[in-house]
């Protein structure tokens, strides 16, 4: 079988990329099964080894194990995200169970854990390098957090809890999807469309076609409901749409999420107790930069009252706009976006049609490459001979300041029907120097960026909004975190860092697309080549802080509710979760008119998987780091200051998870992070 399955042969392509042109969907299942078997064989060799456990024969060997599985699985997951289809989806469904079971079997392997535990116990006296020490501690924690240290009876219960959690979170997501796909607001007459710009009308017609109904409809998809609430002049319809949006998951019957969310909280509490923690937040936060929930509460506490003050200032501006149109009364949750948009237009006169011609996609990509060159000395060369999985994908050879090839970068910028939505960074290979076999064991990173920009029509350029350009820079920042990685062990490479640190390299990179120097050089009109006018840059800069009180209150309220729900220590969650949520918000004084659009009954970040449970705060946490970190360049007097850039490269972009994140930030910044730059960036420092 392996004789004619290209996934299992040596990849004889430039830089050993997957031989995409020879891959068939039918190759994946047998290759994944064989690669898992090979991984188990490698782990059995580690576990059954005679003699003392050492760093080399246990820790480094574990890090090295599973390399075939890593490369086949990375190829598989990138295709399921960016170039999927019914056949591949079938394989994905069929392999989900075996892949998950393989992963738990790896971390429940008692023989391997016993040897790892022995090295871990003696680690202080073995003369390890700092990175070796970090790897021992990281792998040990991976095992412990997966339940390796529990007694056999507890382990059996733990596996049950995790199995039930997987089912409940899947159910939760499916219930939200059900409520989203079963509601729409028909726009029957021109009067129903009042105020809607062409792009909303087009999307509403498109949505009707997709649902097989006549005319135009508003659905609960973010890309439709948010513009509708922003532009519709029909207050009655805005109210209907808002109420439907915030009641997802809260309808009696078979798709009711109220009990499902309680089940998830109960199971998580038990999971935490099995680990010896009082609450799920305690358990989740022990493996974060924040470390404890008091740290998270402190940050939320710094931001919340200032955001409330800013919201009150913004409310006054909205009331003035209402008065100017002869309207009086309260601003309700379904009104805020509508009046805010009126104020925004009046104050900044910003229109996408004026901005977009300065952000042609190819130029924005070049701007990102140029910033990486000026900061870190990287150069990007397009290589048409490197195999890619779709003609849209561009492959680049990346060289470092010394001229040596340091990685391969694949950029896939366009939306396609068989590609998931959103923007993300992923990898085909992580950088490391712990490879097996011949050579020096060094592996070059192969990193991908996916965006979902709508391609310009035939013969027209693809023009981006400033938000789109910022997204490209954001993902490119994650990409650099993968490409610049310079560590020995694969587990510590690239973006495999703690979840409240991982958005620092991406969010800090967004700052450069806003720099006047970068804009004047790269934001040029696609027809005339004229640089973007200073006056337009000034308006864009001023508009950045607009409505930030509202945005910050909405976000922070969701983070507060997340922490409150996961800090509960009782085994049994509150009988009425909606009442609990209302009580938390009332205690914190959520202003009327703002409204919560991530309610617990449909908050997929928290309940459709466990990735962000007790972790919705991470974006704000990382923003503290990026705002304060970027100030180092301002203090040095240049966005490309060489000394600061070198520190950023050494301590943040290249160190992966080889250094504790607090220490890494302090080494870069010369001190612990401060919250003021974030408050200033969001315009929250003015007094009320």
Catalytic: 475?
yes
**Per CB under 5 A, does 78 bind Zn ion?**
no
- The window from 237-245, 394-402, 500-508, 558-566 that contacts Zn ion (CB under 5 A) reads 500-508
**Per CB under 5 A, does 495 bind Zn ion?**
no
Q: Residues near 44 by Cβ (< 8 Å), separated by ≥ 6?
A: 111
- The window from 83-91, 462-470, 505-513, 552-560 that contacts Zn ion (CB under 5 A) reads 505-513
Closest residue to Zn ion in the complex (CB): 506
Q: Sort 657 into a burial class: Cβ within 10 Å, 0-12 / 13-18 / 19+.
A: buried
Residue 360: beta bridge partners? 463
User: CB of residue 424 vs Zn ion: minimum separation in angstroms?
Assistant: 8
Cα dist from 77 to 82, 97, 296, 380, 471, whole Å: 9, 15, 33, 25, 22
**Per CB under 5 A, does 82 bind Zn ion?**
no
Number of residues counted as binding Zn ion (CB under 5 A): 1
Distance CA 314, CA 342 (A): 12
Q: Which of 42, 397, 475, 623 is catalytic?
A: 475
User: CB of residue 290 vs Zn ion: minimum separation in angstroms?
Assistant: 18
Nearer to Zn ion, 225 or 513 (CB): 513
Question: Three-class SS of residue 591?
Answer: coil
How many C-beta neighbours within 10 Å does residue 156 have? 12
x/- site string to Zn ion, residues 454 to 493, per CB under 5 A?
A: ----------------------------------------
**Per CB under 5 A, does 450 bind Zn ion?**
no
Nearer to Zn ion, 431 or 506 (CB): 506
User: CB of residue 477 vs Zn ion: minimum separation in angstroms?
Assistant: 8
Nearer to Zn ion, 434 or 506 (CB): 506
Cα dist from 28 to 42, 175, 391, whole Å: 21, 31, 22
Nearer to Zn ion, 450 or 506 (CB): 506
Nearer to Zn ion, 462 or 506 (CB): 506
User: CB of residue 275 vs Zn ion: minimum separation in angstroms?
Assistant: 28
Burial readout 389-403 (b: 16 or more C-beta within 10 A, e: otherwise)? beebbbbbbbbbeee
Distance CA 568, CA 277 (A): 11
Specify whether the CB–CB gap between 317 and 324 falls below 8 A.
no
- The window from 128-136, 191-199, 506-514, 666-674 that contacts Zn ion (CB under 5 A) reads 506-514
Distance CA 425, CA 409 (A): 11
Select from 230, 257, 279, 506 the one that contacts Zn ion (CB under 5 A). 506
Nearer to Zn ion, 27 or 474 (CB): 474
User: CB of residue 372 vs Zn ion: minimum separation in angstroms?
Assistant: 17
Q: Residues near 452 by Cβ (< 8 Å), separated by ≥ 6?
A: 414, 415, 419, 421, 422, 423
Q: Residues near 430 by Cβ (< 8 Å), separated by ≥ 6?
A: 70, 443, 445, 482, 485, 490, 493, 494, 496
Nearer to Zn ion, 506 or 657 (CB): 506
x/- site string to Zn ion, residues 600 to 639, per CB under 5 A?
A: ----------------------------------------
Nearer to Zn ion, 445 or 477 (CB): 477
User: CB of residue 472 vs Zn ion: minimum separation in angstroms?
Assistant: 12
- The window from 18-26, 116-124, 304-312, 498-506 that contacts Zn ion (CB under 5 A) reads 498-506
DSSP secondary structure, 106-154, as one string:
HHT-HHHHHHHHHHHHTGGGTT--HHHHHHHHHHHHHHHHTTTTS-HHH
- The window from 372-380, 504-512, 608-616, 666-674 that contacts Zn ion (CB under 5 A) reads 504-512
Q: Residues near 483 by Cβ (< 8 Å), separated by ≥ 6?
A: 378, 398, 406, 407, 409, 431, 445, 447
**Per CB under 5 A, does 431 bind Zn ion?**
no
Q: Which residues bind Zn ion (CB under 5 A)?
A: 506
**Which residues belong to the active site?**
475
């Amino acid at each position: 079988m392996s004789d004619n399955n290209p996934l299992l042969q040596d990849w004889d392509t430039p830089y050993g990329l997957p031989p995409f042109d020879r891959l068939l969907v039918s190759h994946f299942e047998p290759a994944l099964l064989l690669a898992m078997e090979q991984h188990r064989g490698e782990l059995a060799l580690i576990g059954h080894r005679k003699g003392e456990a050492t760093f080399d024969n246990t820790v480094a060997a574990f890090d090295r194990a599973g390399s075939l599985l890593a490369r086949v699985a990375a190829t598989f997951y990138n295709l399921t995200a960016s170039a999927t289809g019914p056949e591949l989806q079938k394989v994905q469904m069929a392999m989900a169970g075996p892949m998950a079971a393989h992963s738990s079997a790896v971390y429940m392997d008692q023989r391997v854990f016993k040897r790892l535990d022995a090295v871990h116990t003696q680690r202080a006296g073995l003369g390890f390098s700092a990175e070796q020490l970090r790897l021992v501690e990281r792998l040990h924690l991976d095992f412990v957090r997966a339940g390796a240290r529990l007694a056999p009876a507890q382990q059996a219960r733990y596996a049950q809890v995790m199995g039930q959690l997987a089912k409940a979170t899947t159910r939760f997501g499916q219930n939200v999807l059900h409520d989203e796909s079963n509601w729409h607001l028909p726009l029957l007459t021109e009067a129903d469309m009042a105020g809607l710009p062409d792009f909303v009308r087009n999307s509403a017609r498109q949505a009707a076609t997709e649902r097989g109904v006549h005319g135009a409809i508003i659905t609960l998809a973010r890309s439709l409901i948010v513009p509708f609430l922003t532009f519709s002049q029909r207050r009655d319809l805005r109210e209907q749409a808002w109420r439907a949006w915030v009641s997802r998951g809260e309808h009696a019957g078979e798709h009711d999420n109220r009990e499902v969310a309680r089940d998830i909280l109960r199971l998580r509490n038990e999971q935490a107790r099995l680990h010896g923690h009082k609450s799920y937040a305690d358990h989740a936060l022990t493996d974060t930069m924040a470390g404890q929930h008091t740290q998270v509460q402190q940050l939320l506490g710094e931001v919340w009252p200032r955001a409330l003050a800013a919201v009150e200032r913004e409310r006054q501006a909205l009331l003035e706009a209402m008065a100017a149109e002869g309207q009086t009364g309260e601003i309700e949750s379904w009104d805020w976006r509508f009046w805010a948009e009126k104020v925004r237009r009046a104050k900044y006169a910003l229109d996408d049609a004026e901005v977009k011609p300065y952000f042609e996609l190819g130029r924005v990509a070049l701007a990102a490459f140029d910033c990486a060159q000026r900061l870190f000395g990287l150069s990007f060369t397009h290589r048409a001979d490197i195999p890619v999985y779709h003609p849209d994908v561009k492959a680049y050879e990346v060289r470092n300041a010394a001229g040596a090839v340091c990685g391969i970068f694949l950029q896939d910028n366009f939306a396609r029907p068989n590609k998931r939505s959103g923007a993300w960074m992923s990898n085909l290979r992580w950088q490391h120097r712990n490879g097996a076999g011949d050579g020096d064991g060094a592996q070059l990173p192969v990193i991908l960026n996916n965006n979902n920009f709508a391609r310009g029509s035939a013969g027209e350029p693809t023009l981006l909004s400033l938000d789109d350009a910022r997204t490209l820079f954001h993902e490119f920042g994650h990409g650099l975190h993968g490409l610049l990685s310079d560590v020995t062990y694969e587990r510590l490479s690239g973006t495999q860092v703690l979840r409240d640190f991982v958005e620092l390299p991406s969010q800090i990179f967004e700052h450069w697309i806003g720099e006047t120097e970068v804009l004047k050089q790269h934001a040029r009109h696609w027809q005339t080549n004229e640089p973007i006018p200073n006056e337009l840059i000034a308006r864009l800069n001023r508009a950045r802080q607009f409505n930030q009180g509202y945005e910050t209150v909405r976000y922070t309220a969701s983070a507060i509710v997340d922490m409150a729900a996961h800090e509960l220590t009782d085994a049994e969650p509150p009988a009425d979760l909606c009442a609990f949520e209302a009580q938390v918000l009332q205690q914190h004084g959520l202003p009327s008119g703002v409204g919560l659009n991530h309610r617990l009954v449909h908050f997929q970040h928290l309940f459709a998987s466990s990735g962000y449970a007790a972790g919705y705060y991470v974006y704000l946490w990382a923003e503290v780091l990026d705002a304060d970190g970027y100030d180092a360049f301002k203090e040095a007097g240049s966005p490309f200051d060489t000394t600061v850039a070198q520190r950023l490269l050494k301590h943040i972009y290249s160190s992966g998870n080889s250094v504790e994140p607090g220490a890494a930030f302090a080494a870069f910044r010369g001190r612990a992070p401060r919250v003021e730059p974030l408050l200033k960036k969001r315009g929250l420092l003015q007094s009320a």
